[in-house]
Amino acid sequence: MTEPRPKHRPIRSFVLRTGRMTPGQEKAFAQYWPTYGVDFNPGETLDFSTLFGNERPMWVEIGFGDGESLATMARDFPQRNYLGIEVHTPGVGRLLLTLAEQEIGNVRIMSADAMEILQQAIAPGSLAGVQLFFPDPWHKKKHHKRRIVQPRFVELMARLLQAGGIFHAATDWEDYARHMLRQFSAYPEFFENLSESNDFVPQPDTRPTTKFERRGQRLGHGVWDLMFKRTANPVSD
């Protein structure tokens, strides 16, 4: 009798860095996670209307870092609901504190693998927008397979975004920007590039400039924004 083959471990687009939380961040987890946190239960689809108590358009941000830009957008666009996904626990703790201190009610947080959440917990056609700001570029060629934006990711966006929904990405690595541009441009039946030149768009007013980005700009780093709109063509299962 042959031994069963071990299952291949999925390729992760992130390295789990839990980091050390400050006492305030640890307190935020204990005190505010029941209000803003959403536990990931594999195979259980999120009910956004129940989660937020309304039917506002639903936006997801993948990898919100310390939550600075997400909190700003939530304040600027109270007519939207936001689900932020982040595995870095100090960043989650910081955003929990910000949401509580500023009494921001239109954000919920999940701390798990974004791909697993997107694949298992979000209903098709339920999202008005998905944001991916400054993901890990995995700049070495041998690590490109770890980049989150791959054909299966684009196909997943096509399934989850409603007609007219927006995918918005930003990166300070031009090579990764062009990689993402190629990936989404390969699906013209599902996505329309909102760039007038069919490549990148100027930074829209809807995306706040973060401290990380401002520091890079002072060092002369460029930033590339991409925005693609979901067309009305359905995705066949």
Active site residue: 136, 175, 205, 225, which one? 136
CB 182 within 8 A of CB 145: no
110: burial class by Cβ within 10 Å (0-12, 13-18, 19+)?
A: buried
| CA nearest neighbour of 163 among 137, 187, 129 | 129
CB 110 within 8 A of CB 77: no
Cβ-proximal residues to 94 (8 Å cutoff; 6+ apart), any chain: 25, 28, 66, 67
* Active-site residue, 136 included: yes
Beta strands, E only, the chain:
58-62, 81-85, 107-110, 127-133, 161-171, 191-193, 224-230
CB 111 within 8 A of CB 38: no
Helices 89-101 and 68-76 sit at what angle, rounded to 10 degrees? 30
Catalytically active residues are: 136
